[in-house]
C-alpha cells in the first residue's frame, strides 16, 4: 500500500515540477505563444514525458489556473473574514479580487482563461467541474453571508442566495477580464483614470446588492 502511495506522491511532485516550469514559460508570453517544447526544456524533461503527466498543453495550463484559483479563494476568504459588517465584507471581496488581479496578473489570466473559454477535456467541461469542486467550500461561506445579510436587513430580501453569489462572481470576473484587456488603453482612449473607474464600479455593485 505504501508503494502505491509513494508512487502517487512522486507522480504528484512531477506534475508540480512541470507546472512550475510551465508557469515560467507561459507567463512569459502567454498561452498561445508558449511551446510545449519550451516547457519541456524548462522542466528538463522531454516533450513526450510531459504527456505522461498531462493529456495536453491546455491541461497544463489548467493546473496553473487551479493554483491561481486557490490563491484567489484564499485571499478572498481571508478578506471576508477580516471585517465584520456585511457591506464591508462585500467591498472587501471586490477589492481583494482586484488586488488578486494586480498582484498575480498571470494567475488571474489563467483563471479567467478557463472561465471565458469553453475548454473541453475529453468531451467534458472538466474545468468547470474541478473549479466547482474547489469553490464548493467557499460557496457555503458566501451563502451564509448573504443569508445573514438578508436577516440583518442589509441585503435586499428579493435576492436568491445562490443566484446572487454566482452573479457577483460572474459579473466581477467578466468585468475584470475585459478590464484587463482594455486597461492600458483606458486613459488614452477615454480619458478615464483606473482608480475612478474601479471605485465607481464598486459603488455600482454594492448599490445593486445592498439596501
Partner DNA sequence: GATGAATGAGATTTCATTCAT
Partner DNA sequence: TATGAATGAAATCTCATTCAT
Which residue ranges make up the site for DNA (CB under 7 A)? 7, 10-11, 14, 33-37, 44-49, 51-53, 55-58
8 Å CB contact between 47 and 36: yes
Q: Is 124 helix (H, G, I), strand (E, B) or coil?
A: strand
Nearer to DNA, 41 or 77 (CB): 41
With CB under 8 A as the contact rule, the residue among 48, 185, 187, 195 that binds a second copy is 185
Radius of gyration of the chain (CA): 20
Nearer to a second copy, 21 or 93 (CB): 93
Report the partner that residue 192 touches, choosing among a second copy, DNA, none (CB closer than 5 to 8 A by kind): a second copy
Q: Which of 138, 162, 165 is nearest to 75 (CA)?
A: 138
Smallest gap from Cβ 19 to DNA, in A, equals 14
Smallest gap from Cβ 13 to a second copy, in A, equals 22
DSSP 114: H
From the CB of residue 60, how many other CB atoms can be counted at a distance below 10 Å?
A: 26
8 Å CB contact between 101 and 108: yes
Backbone angles phi, psi at 54, to 5 degrees: -135, 145
Q: Which positions lie near a second copy, rule CB under 8 A?
A: 30, 112, 115-118, 125, 128, 132, 156, 158-160, 162-164, 166-167, 170-171, 173-179, 181-182, 185, 189-192, 196-197, 200-201, 203-209
Amino acid at each position: 500500500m505504501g508503494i502505491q502511495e509513494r508512487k502517487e506522491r512522486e507522480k504528484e511532485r512531477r506534475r508540480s515540477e512541470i507546472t512550475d516550469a510551465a508557469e515560467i514559460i507561459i507567463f512569459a508570453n502567454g498561452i498561445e505563444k508558449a511551446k510545449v517544447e519550451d516547457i519541456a526544456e524548462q522542466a528538463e524533461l522531454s516533450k513526450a514525458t510531459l504527456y505522461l503527466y498531462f493529456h495536453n498543453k491546455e491541461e497544463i495550463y489548467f493546473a496553473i489556473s487551479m493554483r491561481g484559483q486557490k490563491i484567489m479563494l484564499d485571499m478572498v476568504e481571508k478578506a471576508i473574514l477580516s471585517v465584520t459588517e456585511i457591506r464591508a465584507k462585500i467591498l472587501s471581496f471586490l477589492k481583494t479580487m482586484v488586488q488578486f488581479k494586480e498582484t498575480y496578473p498571470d494567475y488571474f489570466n489563467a483563471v479567467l482563461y478557463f472561465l471565458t473559454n469553453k475548454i473541453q477535456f475529453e468531451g467534458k467541461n472538466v474545468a468547470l467541474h474541478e473549479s466547482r469542486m474547489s469553490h464548493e467550500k467557499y460557496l457555503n461561506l458566501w451563502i451564509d453571508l448573504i443569508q445573514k445579510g438578508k436577516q440583518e436587513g442589509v441585503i435586499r430580501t428579493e435576492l436568491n442566495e445562490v443566484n446572487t453569489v454566482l452573479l457577483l462572481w460572474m459579473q466581477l470576473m467578466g468585468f475584470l477580464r475585459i478590464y484587463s484587456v482594455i486597461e492600458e488603453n483606458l486613459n488614452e482612449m477615454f480619458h478615464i483614470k483606473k482608480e475612478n473607474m474601479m471605485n465607481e464600479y464598486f459603488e455600482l455593485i454594492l448599490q445593486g446588492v445592498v439596501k
